[in-house]
Structure 1
Amino acid sequence: MVASVNDAAVPFPGEEGLAEGLAEAVQAGRLAATTDTAAAVSDAEAVVLVVPLFVDERGTPDFRAMDAATRAVAAGLRPGTLVSYETTLPVGTTRDRFAPLLAQDSGLLPERDFSLVFSPERVFTGRVFADLRRYPKLVGGIGPHSAKDGVRFYESVLDFDVREELPRPNGVWDLGSAEAAELAKLAETTYRDVNIALANQFARFADRSGVDIDAVIDACNTQPYSHIHRPGIAVGGHCIPVYPRMYLWNDPEAAVVRAARETNEAMPAHAVDLLADAYGELRGADVLVLGAAYRGGVKETAFSGVFPTVAALRERGARPYVSDPLYAPHELADMGLRPHTGQPVTAAVVQTDHAAYRELSADRLPGVRVLVDGRRVTDPALWAGVRRVVVGDGGGREAVAV
């Protein structure tokens, strides 16, 4: 990764504007990568930490990587430096965990000797640069001096679009405390998980009732107070499956959040149930899972639905294969997935909404009898003679394309 950045080579594909921006910054001498964190910090006026923080099955955060990064920053910290955490954190972490750690290892006091803020990432993979301009940058300091320095820094490095519909002008918003900024990120991402879970519940009921949930959601969302998301086979990525658990670590009595997470985690198995209902006995069946990525167009499998979908198929005795236009067979095999390299299959499940699947047709998979589209991305006209089942389409009343 470090060598790629220094060579102006994009370290991961699919991010609009990254190749051009990276080449320009490296060639102009404004960007260099290093593994010597302490040395880099000692030369910096501002330090931004974006290190992954994961939680386990019970929702307990694993702080080891973040603690190590914090200690490395502290080793090079100088008076007057701004330290900003952008990694999503449980409420209270910046003040109660990282401020003491920075002070202990640097000998400096936060708010007096250096500024410390939390300022969450609010961007979507694939459109990071556009989102940095589009959405307000939230900042919360551990004190007024830190907050002032944090706001000044982000105002100096970000260029915002003007958005008239916002309650106050777009730009950098001081939320008043690190805790408020931490909660804002957890709240906005947990809202999405709860909303998707509600859509998934509606979809399952719609299937039992013979109703197309997409038409219902379209109708509901014409009313300005309704913002129902879309159902699907899985909720993946670094954010939405993780941060509700982080919120639950702070607020274990949040029954709505817990129920939503359980609902979304159950969707891959539900999709396999739909396949079994349409196909029959799955034991011994060769099934192709279309898509390993958690989201279309992004080469990333963090918490992807491919893993629980494959596990649910194996539990029923099926032989699952996986293909993805972004992954080579050896890359899928390295993740413990059996790559599809042309083996005949009799059923398929769409797990990722890759654009290529909009043009995928039955003749590309000869022998397939049933297709479960977990993302409502395939074209029914291209699946003539195949039983096509879509999550939330009303139970397959028009499942066989003719």
Structure 2
Amino acid sequence: MTSSTVCVVALGKIGLPLAVQFASSGATVIGADVDQRAVDLVNRGEEPFPGETDLGVKMKAAVEAGLLSATTDTAAAVAKSDAVVVVVPLFVDADGVPDFGWMDSATREIAKGLRPGTLVSYETTLPIGTTRERWAPMLEAGSGLKAGEDFHLVFSPERVLTGRVFADLRKYPKLVGGINASSTAAGVAFYESVLQFDERDDLPRANGVWDLGTSEASEFAKLAETTYRDVNIGLANQFARYADKVDVDVQLVIEACNSQPYSHIHQPGIAVGGHCIPIYPRMYLWNDPEATVVRAAREANAEMPSYAVDLLQAAHGDLAGLAVLVLGAAYRGGVKETAFSGVFGTVAALEARGATAYVSDPMYTDAELEAHKLNPHRGEPVGAAIIQADHAEYRSLTPADLPGVKVLVDGRRVTDATAWQADGVRRVVIGG
């Protein structure tokens, strides 16, 4: 168990579970966030957001034990800490250009409180070279300290999914790379101390902390693993679209291919959403604009919502004036998050063809859907439906649940084909 003090900057859906994990390993953790509401909730031991397994119980225990607190004063929190872990969001624009605004602001605040001997670890996914070329000079300028000599600086990417952060922390190796050997060694030692797990349970053990040598290698590893997934899905989507042309079930083809250990084709579908896969390949392209395979895959995946509407039009006919229900605003099932969700592209494609698009989602209220500029379904009659998110609630859907629907485009293959064998109703899947 560690006795260090750790500052976690940004208490979002990754940062807060990390802070709780560090506290569970015995560290005294100060969470820093610009959102006063989130800070107040954490200090009361209350979850600022739903959906993260075990977060409420673990966070309350850490707060009551005096191991976790929160503040809006980042510089003051850093000044009290032996290690600083940064999980501030970074986005890219439509052209793939990173917007460093929030991270620059947080880094300047960190620099104000930075002390000699402190470890600074960035976990937010970054373009390759950012830790050394952007954060090191910025931290030096604001602190008067020398990176790699007076303080340690590493990049250690988060490799977890929201909803299962604690399980993923113990399942996947923690990657660490610093701007020099001493920084890397300090980073490895830190993560080994704060990734401690209860040996009394029967969950899988963590696979350790991996020394990747340099911050560039660690940055590269995160971009490579997420870009691989996008490229793989893009290939699966290309296969699915061709399967539709030749009237072959692509699912049977993929299962056959994956029975051989050298093939691992992912699943095709209506959209690739979330904070990671739609963003990080574009971030990689910012580093490597000649990566034509990556660019083609990203473009293929971005086209899938429109392709799903093409399938609807082929099955139904002219969509002008048709009321269509889009099932699922979230980017994936069971997660209340719309970041880069396929719902937006699907609605846009429907409206471009003259259809009226309604949206429903079991995780969202009508007011929340309206806040995302989506048209909530309030029982209006609809003639067709498109499943956009693989919520568990949609697996048991039948035509009786959607009266008046003549065509269902199941963009996630979650429904039972036999349940949709009804007169006057057609079920369509991507690559079916």
TM-score (norm. length: structure 1): 0.95
Output aligned runs, 1:246-285, within 5 Å.
246-285=283-322
- Distance in 2, matches of 1:22 and 1:14, equals 14
Q: Structure 1, residues 29-51: CA drift from partner, whole Å, max 9, x if none?
A: 11111111011111111100001
> Residue in 2 aligned with 1:65?
102
Report the residue type matching 1:297 in the other structure.
G
Q: Structure 1, residues 63-121: CA drift from partner, whole Å, max 9, x if none?
A: 11110010010011111110000000000000000000000011111111100000000
Which of 210, 213, 234 is the matching residue for 2:250? 213
- Distance in 1, matches of 2:418 and 2:380, equals 24
1:125 deviates by 1.5
SS in 2 for 1:149: helix
> Residue in 1 aligned with 2:280?
243
Asked whether the equivalents of residues 134 and 160 of structure 1 are also in contact (C-alpha less than 8 Å), the reply is: no
Does 1:79 pair with 2:113?
Answer: no
Asked whether the equivalents of residues 134 and 161 of structure 1 are also in contact (C-alpha less than 8 Å), the reply is: no
- Distance in 2, matches of 1:254 and 1:283, equals 39
Q: Structure 1, residues 223-244: CA drift from partner, whole Å, max 9, x if none?
A: 1111100000000000000000
Report the residue type matching 1:193 in the other structure.
D
Report the residue type matching 1:381 in the other structure.
T
- Distance in 2, matches of 1:160 and 1:196, equals 34
Report the residue type matching 2:256 in the other structure.
A
Asked whether the equivalents of residues 160 and 171 of structure 1 are also in contact (C-alpha less than 8 Å), the reply is: no
Which of 377, 381, 387 is the matching residue for 2:426? 387
SS in 1 for 2:282: helix
Does 1:321 pair with 2:358?
Answer: yes
> Residue in 2 aligned with 1:350?
387
SS in 2 for 1:116: strand
- Distance in 2, matches of 1:11 and 1:358, equals 30
Report the residue type matching 1:366 in the other structure.
P
1:159 deviates by 3.1
- Distance in 1, matches of 2:380 and 2:69, equals 46
> Residue in 2 aligned with 1:20?
57
Which of 269, 291, 302 is the matching residue for 1:232? 269
- Distance in 1, matches of 2:60 and 2:263, equals 43
Which of 332, 341, 350 is the matching residue for 1:304? 341
SS in 1 for 2:70: coil
- Distance in 2, matches of 1:332 and 1:292, equals 8
> Residue in 2 aligned with 1:122?
159
> Residue in 2 aligned with 1:196?
233
Asked whether the equivalents of residues 322 and 338 of structure 1 are also in contact (C-alpha less than 8 Å), the reply is: yes
1:339 deviates by 0.3
TM-score (norm. length: structure 2): 0.88
> Residue in 2 aligned with 1:94?
131
Report the residue type matching 1:80 in the other structure.
G
1:356 deviates by 0.3
Does 1:136 pair with 2:168?
Answer: no
Report the residue type matching 1:48 in the other structure.
V
SS in 2 for 1:203: helix
Q: Structure 1, residues 370-395: CA drift from partner, whole Å, max 9, x if none?
A: 000000001223332320000111xx
SS in 2 for 1:109: coil
- Distance in 2, matches of 1:346 and 1:305, equals 21
1:4 deviates by 1.9
1:160 deviates by 6.8
Asked whether the equivalents of residues 170 and 207 of structure 2 are also in contact (C-alpha less than 8 Å), the reply is: no
Moved more, 328-337 or 207-216: 207-216
Report the residue type matching 1:387 in the other structure.
R
Q: Give RMSD over aligned pairs.
A: 1.2
1:312 deviates by 0.4
Does 1:6 pair with 2:48?
Answer: no
> Residue in 1 aligned with 2:212?
175
> Residue in 2 aligned with 1:157?
194
> Residue in 2 aligned with 1:397?
none
Aligned in 2, Cα 1:31/1:160: closer, same or farther, shift over 3 Å?
A: closer
SS in 1 for 2:351: helix
Asked whether the equivalents of residues 159 and 172 of structure 2 are also in contact (C-alpha less than 8 Å), the reply is: yes
- 5+ residue gaps in structure 2? 1-37, 200-205
- Distance in 2, matches of 1:380 and 1:61, equals 43
- Distance in 1, matches of 2:197 and 2:155, equals 19
SS in 2 for 1:388: strand
1:215 deviates by 1.1
- Distance in 2, matches of 1:72 and 1:159, equals 29
Aligned in 2, Cα 1:252/1:161: closer, same or farther, shift over 3 Å?
A: farther
Report the residue type matching 1:13 in the other structure.
P
SS in 2 for 1:33: strand
Does 1:291 pair with 2:291?
Answer: no
